[in-house]
Amino acid sequence: MDLGDLAWPEYAERVKANPVVFLPVGSLEQHGPHLPLATDALLPAALARDAAAEVGGLVLPTIPYGYRSMPKSGGGPGFPGTTDLEAMTLIHLVHDILCEQARHGVRKVCVLVGHYENQWMVTEGIHLAMARIGGAGVRVMRVEYWDLLDEAVLDAVFESGPRSIALEHAAVMETSLMLHYHPERVRLDRIPDDPPAEFPPYDMFPAVAAWVPSSGALTSAKAATAAKGRLMAEAIRSRLAVAIAKEFAPT
Ligand code: ZN
Ligand code: MN
């Protein structure tokens, strides 16, 4: 189901059946001492493959970079390795990929976002692409995968502990999902145990490095487990499949 693995005749044949095409959008960003820089790209790619298997879709190559990491949601630009795009670069990437897929006949797209800061740049790329494509019947869903986690799943994942999706950077959610999909890429012996970061209700430019815990994780990742990752992955797969069936149903 990886679109990039298909030869062109296979691609043409598959697109004739009007599949949902997934575009995972990630980042190259610090994720603490225990997770790889590519975490925000690896997770939506894996989740998109699961969803594509469920609905018979195809998965585009992931956009491996994202919009500027912010201290309060991703640690900010001060960590070695964090490699940010300017807004227009990401907008153009999303726009160009959607326009090209539409030119080849793709009509159903699900853009699966794995990096918090990407949301509005991705939205703008979709918006400009829709205007460019015109009335070809193309429909696009944009979803941040964590928004597919309902209260029951969040209760199970966070147990009685503090719960703040805003601080879930390199913490329980991402570490658990990585333990489920890519356990060999998690450095178990380096999982940090920072208390929840406390941020002021504003941003500063240049970023203030002292706001961010030195590990780069915005709250403790100690409670992460592969079982929690599987629970979240299954919840996301099934809720995404339901949403796709609803929104892309023939009218
Ligand atoms: Zn992340
Ligand atoms: Mn991120």
Pick from 169, 186, 173: nearest CA to 35:
186
Q: Is the pLDDT of residue 162 over 70?
A: no
Nearest ligand for residue 165 CA: 1
Is residue 251 very low, low, confident or very high in pLDDT (cuts 50, 70, 90)? low
pLDDT, tens digit (0-9, with 9 covering 90-100), for 230-241: 999 999 999 999
Mean pLDDT of the chain: 96
pLDDT, tens digit (0-9, with 9 covering 90-100), for 28-59: 999 999 999 999 999 999 999 999 999 999 99
Neighbours of ion ligand 1 (CB under 5 A): 40
Contact 244, 60 (CB under 8 A): no
pLDDT, tens digit (0-9, with 9 covering 90-100), for 64-74: 999 999 999 99
Rg (CA), the chain: 18
d(CA 115, ligand 1 centre) in Å = 6
d(CA 34, ligand 1 centre) in Å = 12
Contact 97, 133 (CB under 8 A): no
Is the pTM higher than 0.85? yes
**DSSP one-letter code for 80:** T
Q: Is the pLDDT of residue 193 over 70?
A: yes
* pLDDT value, residue 234: 98
d(CA 30, ligand 1 centre) in Å = 8
* pLDDT value, residue 155: 93
* Catalytic annotation, residues: 29, 31, 40, 115, 117, 169, 174
